[in-house]
Amino acid sequence: MRIENKNAIVTGGASGIGRATVRRFAAEGANVLIADRNGAGAELLAQELAGSGRKVLAHQLDVSNEGEVDAMVDRAVRDLGGVDILVAAAAIPYAGFGGAEDRHRAIVDKPFAEWRELLSVNLDGVFLVDRAVARAMIKAGGGGRIINISSVMAVRPAVNSSDYCVSKAGVWMLTKVLALELAPHRITVNAIAPGGVRTPMLGAALQRNPGMEQAIIDSVPLHRIAEPEEIAAAAVFLAGEEASYCTGTLLHVNGGTLMV
């Protein structure tokens, strides 16, 4: 019960890393607002956790929409009583994970519309959510925890994945700047850098690309793909008192894929 009676927002909370984080936060005693573009999925998860003894709310959200983001934070303040923790996990994956189209493209072949679509969620969306939550935390005066989901690709480039790499590198720099700016308010800001994680989005890519799973496994020193719960465990650590002196950190949870 490391975050008992804390109030948390998890964006992208209806699936993958976000879903595992919502479940873990509720198990650790937090009230949670599940924000996701998939409102029905968020509602199903809220219903699943209805018997947990915690307040769990579902909220449909497009993180790239400034008005929707501000309204979501206002609801969390009103209906949960405040925001102590944010996990910004909403993202569009590279290479068309979860979609019909594989968007692996060299920069010279990258349509600007694809570039903007991905960055509007992966970077602009994190900025908007971080900003709105930070404003609420500053106003409340009780400090807080902001945790952004970045990637190993924030610091390790990959061909044909320019938009994704740049978006996650931007999240990492945003995290560091916010850590400096919010430290006087006792708000810590950290990021997590997963590698391959067994989420529905990765699963869709593995179905389209036979042999991809083994290639990922072969690239990881621990020789396996992570489970979403392992990333959620890192989020619980960063959200709790044990990480009270951690800020501006990129926590690598990637099986040794990237060592810095």
Residue 171 forms part of a structural domain: yes
Strand order in the sheet with 56-60: 56-60, 31-36, 7-11, 85-88, 144-149, 187-194, 250-253
Question: Is 164 tagged catalytic?
Answer: yes
CATH code for the domain of 18: 3.40.50.720
pLDDT tens, residue by residue, 125-148: 999 999 999 999 999 999 999 999
Residue 98 has pLDDT above 50, yes or no: no
Q: Which of 172, 171, 178, 196 is nearest to 119 (CA)?
A: 171
Residue 77 forms part of a structural domain: yes
The tokens for 169 are 């590198």
Residue 260 forms part of a structural domain: no
Predicted local confidence at residue 103, as pLDDT:
75
Q: Which of 52, 24, 54, 19 is nearest to 34 (CA)?
A: 19
E-strand ranges in the chain read 7-11, 31-36, 56-60, 85-88, 144-149, 187-194, 250-253
The single residue of 164, 196, 234, 247 carrying the catalytic annotation is 164
Structural domains of the chain, count: 1
Which residues 6+ apart lie within 8 Å of 213 measured at CB?
Answer: 206, 225
Predicted local confidence at residue 101, as pLDDT:
59
Which residues 6+ apart lie within 8 Å of 233 measured at CB?
Answer: 24
Residue 128 forms part of a structural domain: yes
Q: What are 34's strand-pairing partners?
A: 10, 58
Per the listing, tokens 């501006």 go with 248
Residue 2 forms part of a structural domain: no
The tokens for 188 are 């810590």
N-terminal to C-terminal alpha carbon distance within the chain: 31
The tokens for 222 are 């621990």
Residue 259 forms part of a structural domain: no
- Say how far apart CA 133 and CA 193 lie, in whole Å: 21
Residue 118 has pLDDT above 60, yes or no: yes
Question: Which runs of consecutive H residues, i.e. helices, occur in 92-161?
Answer: 112-122, 124-140
Residue 202, phi then psi, degrees to nearest 5 = -65, -40
Supply the range of the domain harboring residue 120: 7-253
Residue 102 forms part of a structural domain: yes
pLDDT band at 97 (very low <50, low <70, confident <90, very high): very low
Q: Which of 66, 104, 69 is nearest to 86 (CA)?
A: 69
The tokens for 147 are 């945790």
User: What is the average pLDDT score of the chain?
Assistant: 93
pLDDT tens, residue by residue, 17-62: 999 999 999 999 999 999 999 999 999 999 999 988 999 999 999 9
Residue 76 forms part of a structural domain: yes
